[in-house]
Structure formats: C-alpha cells, structure tokens
Amino acid sequence: MYNMWPPTEEQIKDIASTGLNQSKDKNVKVLVYWENDPNLMIFDPIIFAPTNGKWKYINRKYTTNDRSIEVIIGKID
C-alpha cells in the first residue's frame, strides 16, 4: 500500500491525520521516509538530507480549526 512513489494525496492526508492524532501540539511538523517505513514518523525534524539531486521530498501543510500540520515525505533515507 505504501510502496509506490509518489504517494497519493489521500495517503499524504492519512499521514497528516495520524500525525495530528499522535501529537498534542498546536503546530505539528512530521517527516517520514516513504520507502523505508512511512509509518515511522519523525516529529519536529531539525535536519534531513538536502532536497536537490537524488533525494526527493513532498511538502504539504494542512490547517484544521486551530491546529496545523506540515508533512514532509522523503522518498528514501
């Protein structure tokens, strides 16, 4: 289910929903690596591989009521 790159918009929204449910913070930021394990979420990532070259990332930000989540999905770590 989670092995085809790029992820669908529905899959990205699933990650966003799960991230919001796992955190009590008002503004959430979560990073996942799709081909490694998209169920492993890294909250508030500080450093990750550069987005140029062979590394590919998808960034989405969603806002709901008084909370927001930024989802960063890397193809592979």
Q: What is the pLDDT of residues 50-71, one digit of tens each?
A: 655 566 789 999 998 899 999 9
Which residue, among 31, 48, 35, 30, has the nearest Cα to 6 in the 3D structure?
Answer: 35
Location of structure tokens 């899959």: 11
Q: What is the pTM of this model?
A: 0.87
Contact 45, 32 (CB under 8 A): no
Residue 14 inside a domain? The answer is yes
Amino acid 5: pLDDT: 87
Residue 2 inside a domain? The answer is no
Residue 53 inside a domain? The answer is yes
How many domains is the chain partitioned into structurally? 1
Q: Distance between CA 45 and CA 23 in Å, rounded?
A: 14
Residue 1 inside a domain? The answer is no
Residue 20 inside a domain? The answer is yes
Amino acid 37: pLDDT: 87
Phi, psi of 52 (to 5 degrees): -90, 170
Location of structure tokens 């590394």: 55
Residue 4 inside a domain? The answer is no
The domain of 68 spans: 9-74
Residue 61 inside a domain? The answer is yes
